[in-house]
């Protein structure tokens, strides 16, 4: 019992670590470019892995695609990457970038009364209070924001195919949604970090963040859409902590696990689909934000960084004038 609680606490601390700026560390950059000419009209796919506020970097890459006149044939995403993929499918990359540039904590979640009161109670009373709570945070502000910014009708009519993954807690299986089946509930489910946000019920399933079952839906996109090239955005830095204390150690462990999963799936994609040119795009400098750290200025910096990296990488791959 104590081991399970310790593991849950470790994950929760890693996800909610956003009380201060992350330490600046050097990170390996990577645009897997090189000679790879493809014929005009080839089918490009883009995978958005999300990562909370780190997904602002992905929005910058979406903006670079738009500025170069590159329209993907298909996009996929989980977690906050699901929002990015859906907005790209809707043909709204500029609106997506503007959304991230102005995003604040109060636009994403509110603190329920139970969470506020729980913070005022002595430690021995906190567990009984939270045992019956549905979640620590209320994502209603995020839902209202997305409803204002996203027209699902544009997604349904879009020539850009979209794949959004949620995870079903009852079956333990991924729940995919496409242009025809994606609803606001389904999108919110993919954004729902279990424990932080309440479970979303869709067609009898208890749905949460798709990253629980698949960090980046690379293989799922290739299995459902014929593509010639796939760009996988890896927004997780693999950098050592400045000191071996609790928070940086947990953050480092989570970054390693998530990043390696994405890279492993990219390599599997190359093996299973040898006819597809799979490229991984990494940030050229540290993102220096934590998943729940929502500051418009910092997120704007990530959008700008993603745009610069995207223009450079896409140019190296032969896109643009």
78, 136, 140, 280 from 182: Cα distances, Å: 13, 26, 19, 26
66, 253, 279, 307 from 63: Cα distances, Å: 5, 31, 18, 6
Alpha-carbon distance of 174 to 190, in angstroms, equals 10
Total domains in the fold of the chain: 1
CATH label of the domain that carries residue 212: 3.40.1090.10
HSE, side-chain direction, 13 A CA sphere, residue 113: 0
Q: Cβ(174)–Cβ(211) under 8 Å?
A: no
Does residue 309 sit within a domain?
yes
Does residue 140 sit within a domain?
yes
Does residue 191 sit within a domain?
yes
Both tokens of 240, joined, read: 């050592």
Which has more confidence, 241 or 34?
241
pLDDT tens for residues 305-321? Answer: 999 999 999 998 888 77
Does residue 137 sit within a domain?
yes
Cα dihedral 139, 63, 78, 226 in deg (nearest 10):
150
Instruction: Write out the H or E segment, with its range, that includes residue 176.
Output: strand 174-177
Does residue 10 sit within a domain?
no
193: containing domain: 25-316
pLDDT at residue 16, rounded to an integer: 44
β-pair partners for 119: none
Q: Kindly tell me if the per-residue pLDDT of 258 is higher than 80.
A: yes
β-pair partners for 230: 45, 278
pLDDT tens for residues 152-171? Answer: 999 999 999 999 999 999 99
Both tokens of 98, joined, read: 């503007």
Confidence of residue 10 (pLDDT cuts 50, 70, 90): very low
HSE, side-chain direction, 13 A CA sphere, residue 310: 26
Does residue 146 sit within a domain?
yes
Beta-strand pair 205-209/161-168: antiparallel
Query: Counting beta carbons within 10 angstroms of the beta carbon of residue 309, is it exposed (0 to 12), middle (13 to 18) or buried (19 or more)?
Result: buried
Q: Mention every residue, 6+ apart, whose C-beta is less than 8 A from residue 43.
A: 73, 74, 225, 226, 227, 228, 229
Query: Counting beta carbons within 10 angstroms of the beta carbon of residue 20, is it exposed (0 to 12), middle (13 to 18) or buried (19 or more)?
Result: exposed
pLDDT tens for residues 106-156? Answer: 999 998 745 444 444 444 444 555 566 778 899 999 999 999 999 999 999
What SS3 class is residue 310? helix
Q: Kindly tell me if the per-residue pLDDT of 18 is higher than 80.
A: no
Does residue 14 sit within a domain?
no
Q: Is the pTM here over 0.95, yes or no?
A: no
Does residue 72 sit within a domain?
yes
């Amino acid at each position: 019992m104590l081991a399970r609680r310790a593991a849950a606490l470790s994950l929760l601390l890693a996800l909610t670590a956003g009380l201060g700026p992350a330490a600046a560390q050097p990170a390996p950059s990577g645009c897997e470019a090189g000679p790879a000419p493809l014929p005009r009209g080839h089918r490009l796919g883009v995978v958005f892995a999300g990562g909370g506020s780190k997904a602002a970097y992905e929005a910058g890459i979406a903006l670079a695609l738009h500025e170069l006149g590159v329209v993907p044939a298909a996009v996929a995403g989980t977690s906050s990457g699901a929002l990015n993929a859906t907005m790209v499918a809707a043909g709204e990359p500029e609106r997506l970038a503007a959304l991230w540039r102005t995003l604040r904590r109060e636009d994403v979640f509110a603190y329920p009364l139970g969470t506020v009161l729980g913070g005022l109670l002595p430690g021995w009373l906190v567990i009984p209070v939270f045992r019956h709570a549905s979640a620590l945070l209320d994502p209603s502000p995020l839902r209202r924001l997305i409803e204002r910014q996203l027209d699902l009708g544009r997604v349904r009519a879009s020539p850009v195919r979209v794949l959004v993954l949620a995870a079903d807690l009852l079956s333990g299986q991924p729940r995919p949604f496409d242009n025809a089946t994606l609803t606001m509930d389904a999108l919110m489910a993919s954004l729902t970090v279990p424990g932080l946000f309440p479970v979303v019920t869709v067609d009898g399933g208890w749905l949460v963040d798709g990253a629980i079952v698949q960090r980046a839906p690379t293989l799922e996109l290739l299995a459902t859409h014929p593509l010639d090239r796939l760009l996988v955005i890896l927004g997780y830095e693999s950098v050592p902590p400045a000191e071996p204390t609790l928070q940086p150690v947990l953050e480092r462990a989570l970054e390693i696990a998530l990043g390696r999963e994405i890279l492993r799936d990219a390599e599997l994609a190359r093996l299973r689909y040898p006819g597809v040119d799979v490229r991984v795009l990494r940030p050229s400098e540290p993102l220096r934000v934590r998943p729940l750290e929502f500051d418009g200025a910092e997120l704007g910096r990530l959008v700008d960084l993603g745009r610069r990296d995207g223009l450079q990488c896409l140019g190296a791959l032969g896109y643009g004038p």
